[in-house]
Chains A and B, each alone.
Chain A
Amino acid sequence: MYLAEHDVVVGQDLSVGYEKHNPLITNINFEFKEGQIIAINGASGIGKTTLLRTLAGLLNPVKGGVSVFGSSTIRRGEVGYIPQRLGLIRHASVYHNVMLGAKAGHTSAWFPFSSICKPVSLQAIESVGLTHKLRTPIRKLSGGQQRRVAVARTLAQKPRLILADEFLAELDEETLIMVMKKVLDYVKQNNAIMVLVEHDLNRARQMADRLFTAEGNKLVEIFNEEDEVHE
């Protein structure tokens, strides 16, 4: 397929799903630009996670194609994915988990060691307020604390594209605002792109520049800050 420019994430005539003859979301087109935060909502089981996994290169599109920063394959460190179930290593410490992100972002696959990883990880853990849990294994943390570790892992990675699947669930109001602000600041400061799945419409509007909703087999854009400004 045609590969888009190097600073955008593009879906072209994209259909995603697990079965060839029964795609979940069909024929969608989008172009996400640097600095944009895109929220997706929609009913449970409609295919939001499936779409994120396709963007992360974990699932081949049923039809059409995705181009992430001008490439159809994912390059090391460019994409930070926070799965719905977090994907933390339960038996390893907070530090180990965050280091995995830092290594992906700051080293090469052939030599995954660099002196920069440690300070970057510690800073990310600090920013989500978990320094006192540095050596605690994940399985001993509360649900909300685990979410914060997953966020720290992605922040330490410094990816250009963040894919976050309901990453604010289970957090109390105060922590939620803190974590949300950290991530949004990161995206704006580094001119990254963030695609997030968020059920709470108000919060989605508050965070995102663009809001899509999945309905039936379609992805409908229901809100775009740029348009509002231009009008």
Chain B
Amino acid sequence: MNEHREKYELEEKPTPFLNAWYQWRWPAVFVTLAVLAVMVTHSTIEGNWQKLFESPRNVQTFFRESLWPPDWSVLEPQAYPVCEEPKLLEFTCSTAWIGVLETLKIAFIATVFGMFISYPIALLAAENLSPAWISYPARTFLAAFRSLPSILWALLFVIMVGLGPMAGIMAMTIYTVGYLGKLQYEAIEGVAKPQLDASRAMGHGWLERSFGVILPESANNLISQAIFMFEYNFRHGTVIGIVGAGGIGYYINLYLDFLQYDKVFAYVIVIFIVVLILDFVSKVTRSLFKDDMTKKMHPFWTVLLPSSWVQRFDEE
């Protein structure tokens, strides 16, 4: 015992070099990173910095001439099929509403299916539950699902099952399994050791341990991850329509082709608002599954801030 302690203390003895290192390591890391970034940029744009300084003006011109004002006709009912809703609900016949709703549906279905498929795989992939010869293949399996972004999966499924939301659902489900599975096995590995020790000593079987011990212990994490995943799937679901896999992306792509950028801009604003609402809803729902429910709620505008800032409010 004592030998250990002495060795440890020796290692900790401060030298001038160590002192300087402890004091300056973070500034040094950041300066190095910044210099590297500038150097890489320089080589990537082949020294053509001129372009970089011209581009803001181009953006300005494009914005004034093509984007502004947004064309809100996308919120009006489509000409065909004829809208049969009462006047007040007419907006539900608009392409924006139909597109957003379809994207939400795709995201929801994909998240629910993905969650049920990924949990058993995550159990196999967790290192505190399975031996390495099971957990590594399971991890590789999940990583393979993640390796392609959902839009490429969508492209594959459009080829396989044809245009439409079905391809979108399948693509998003696959990606969700890969992504959520990783989050899940990390949550499972976070389950404290004594819990597993007690369970192992008692002689619990795989089923009891997975569903009686691990599931309740990590349930809060699993639920808040699923909500996060739904939000994520919605944001990415806006893109997969571009390859014909359903949702709002279909209309965006349509008007991009017609060069009607003011309509595209209206869609982008609609999506932005829905994302803000989802962000807020998911934040509130997730806060219900936190350990300490006494934590005070944050005002809604904090969804616009990075979460680390918001946490700082709590500490004060």
Contact (Cβ within 8 A) A75 B203: yes
Does A40 sit at the interface, judged by CB under 8 A?
A: no
Query: How many residues on A have C-beta within 8 angstroms of the other chain's C-beta atoms?
Result: 40
A100-B217 CB under 8 A given contacts A57-B200, A76-B203: no
- Chain B positions 193 through 227: 1 when the CB is less than 8 Å from some CB of chain A, otherwise 0: 01111111111111110001100110110000000
The CA-CA distance from A56 to B204 in the complex, in Å, is: 13
The CA-CA distance from A183 to B194 in the complex, in Å, is: 21
Contact (Cβ within 8 A) B1 A57: no
Contact (Cβ within 8 A) A101 B202: yes
**Which secondary structure dominates chain B's binding surface?**
helix
* Size category of the binding interface on chain B: 20 to 34
Does B132 sit at the interface, judged by CB under 8 A?
A: no
The CA-CA distance from A89 to B197 in the complex, in Å, is: 12
Instruction: Chain B residues near A82: list those with CB within 8 A.
Output: 198
A91-B202 CB under 8 A given contacts A81-B197, A109-B208, A112-B208: no
> Which of A86, A89, A104 makes the CB contact (< 8 A) with B217?
A89
Does A84 sit at the interface, judged by CB under 8 A?
A: yes
Does B192 sit at the interface, judged by CB under 8 A?
A: yes
For window 37-58 of chain A, which residues contact chain B by CB distance below 8 Å?
Answer: 45-46, 53, 56-58
- Chain A positions 148 through 185: 1 when the CB is less than 8 Å from some CB of chain B, otherwise 0: 00100100010100010000000000000000000000
Contact (Cβ within 8 A) A91 B220: yes
Does A90 sit at the interface, judged by CB under 8 A?
A: yes
Does A96 sit at the interface, judged by CB under 8 A?
A: yes
> Which of B192, B203, B212, B291 makes the CB contact (< 8 A) with A79?
B203
The CA-CA distance from A157 to B208 in the complex, in Å, is: 15
Does A188 sit at the interface, judged by CB under 8 A?
A: no
The CA-CA distance from A103 to B217 in the complex, in Å, is: 18
Chain B interface (Cβ < 8 Å from any Cβ of A): 1, 192, 194-208, 212-213, 216-217, 219-220, 291
14 A-B pairs with CB atoms under 8 Å apart are A56-B201, A76-B205, A81-B197, A81-B201, A83-B197, A87-B198, A87-B199, A89-B195, A89-B216, A92-B217, A100-B213, A101-B202, A103-B204, A163-B201
